Structure 1
Amino acid sequence: MENKSKPKYKLILDAAVEVIAENGYHHSQVSKIAKKAGVADGTIYLYFKNKEDILVSLFEEKMGQFVSKIKDEIEQIDEADQKLYKLIEMHFQQLSEDPDLAIVTQLELRQSNKRLRLKINEVLKGYLTLMDDILHEGMKDGTFQDQLNVKLVRQVLFGTLDEVVTNWVMKEQRYNLVKQAKEVHYLIYNGLRKHN
């Protein structure tokens, strides 16, 4: 496989997002992705083993950028509850700015086989760790209750964000997703905060 930093690699991944969002993963032939990217079918195999590899690479690449942007923003913030708000807001913002990617992550990745799902879960670990870090920080500094089951809270947090975005995708993105960040933060934060 050739270097991931080459322009054609990114071109193919961007084309794959569009093609998969439009046709669904199972109806997205490699030839359609190649056509959308403006490359020969064979070129794709210089970068990827097969269609499944394209989907995993796409998720790795986009999720990597996603987590790194959120990390950068969160590092500028001191309070755990504000970090939590920023994470929620940016989760919604990044997916609302790329509706095709939202369709792929919320709908198409769910329909993949078990082996693929395991690879995707591996990629998600960095994001889930970021959530854990915020929760631990809030427990330590007294913002959040100190007896939280972090793993369970993280599942609730991720599940909530995930469901809110999925609902937005299913409703054909007809409303402003980012505007829901405040309300979601309010619900989660009030469940977590330490009551004096």
Structure 2
Amino acid sequence: MNSEGVRQSLKERQRQEREMLILQAAEKALMERGYHEMSMDEIAVEVGIAKSTVYLHFPKKEDLVVALIEQKMTQFLSLVVETMKQEMSAREKLELIFQRLYLQRVALTKGASLPLLINLYNSTDLRPLVTKVEGRIRELVKTIHDHLLTLLEEGQKTGEFDNVLPVEVMLGCFFSMVSPLTYERLIGERQTSLDDLVKYTKCMYFKSIAANTQSACD
């Protein structure tokens, strides 16, 4: 590679690193303050760059949020795919995904994929933006959906999960159990520790779909 190519490669790497820092700052602001309170000014200050530089990467705040949703959806898919490769039972795989999603909530920079996505998807004010994003990431959403449904169906076949419950219902309950809306107040007010919260919510969810609870659904 000639000197010009080296310079271009370095410049592109710096651009990518700067963009990653901007996305990390935006994620932190979104989780702490919400979409409407988040500003491009505070993101620039957090990263240590000029606001004009932020706009070079993302011309509008909406573009920044769209990029963040796509990034987090991709990270969540990677988590699911990696777990699917493990030599475990369907329940063990689903429990591992469940636990990792909760633990990732603590460290935003480690990729709190699903909680951030649920925060955005549950925001009435952001429905038009989310609708626009869904058109661009529909395949990602479908792939994640299909992987998790496969785990639930596999668990039903092996006798781990209740075969009376529709898998779509079990999947919907799974997402609701890992929603920040269900646990932020408990952690924020120090009513329970994260470890205990993971243990109790995981216990409630997997007890509710276990095969030995079938009689409760008759």
Shorter-chain TM-score: which interval? 0.7 to 0.9
Distance 1:178 1:50, change over 3 A: farther
Q: In structure 2, what is the Cα distance between the partners aligned to 1:92 and 1:188?
A: 14
Distance in 1 separating the partners of 2:77 and 2:197: 20
1:50 aligned residue (47, 60, 68): 60
Structure 1 runs (4+) greater than 6 angstroms displaced: none
1-structure distance, mates of 2:153, 2:99: 20
SS of aligned partner of 2:156:
helix
- 1:38 Cα deviation after fit: 1.7
Provide structure 2 residue ranges, at least 5 long, that are not aligned to the other structure: 1-11
Of 143, 153, 157, 1:136 maps to 153
User: Are 2:125 and 1:115 equivalent residues in the alignment?
Assistant: no
- Aligned counterparts of 1:13 and 1:149: Cα–Cα separation in 2: 37
1:168 paired residue number? 183
The alignment yields a C-alpha RMSD, in angstroms, of: 3.2
Distance 2:29 2:198 in 1: 29
Q: Is the Cα contact below 8 Å between 1:89 and 1:178 reproduced in 2? A: no
Structure 2: distance between partners of 1:177 and 1:130: 27
| 1:34 paired to 2:44 | yes
| 8 Å CA contact retained: 1:74, 1:83 | yes
CA displacement at 1:28 relative to structure 2: 1.9
Question: Which amino acid letter does the alignment assign opposite residue 46 of structure 2?
Answer: K
Q: How far off its partner does 1:59 sit?
A: 2.3
1:76 corresponds, among 86, 90, 93, to 86
Contact 2:80 2:97 in 1 (8 A): yes
Matched length: 193
Match of 1:96, SS state, is coil
Which region of structure 1 is more displaced relative to structure 2, 55-64 or 92-101?
Answer: 92-101
The TM-score, its normalising length taken from structure 2, stands at 0.72
Deviates most, 75-84 or 106-115? 106-115
Residue by residue, what CA displacement relative to the aligned partner does 1:30-75 show, whole Å, maximum 9, x if unpaired? 2221222222222223322311121121122133223313431342
Higher relative contact order (CA 8 A, sep 6+): 1
CA positional deviation for 1:90: 0.8
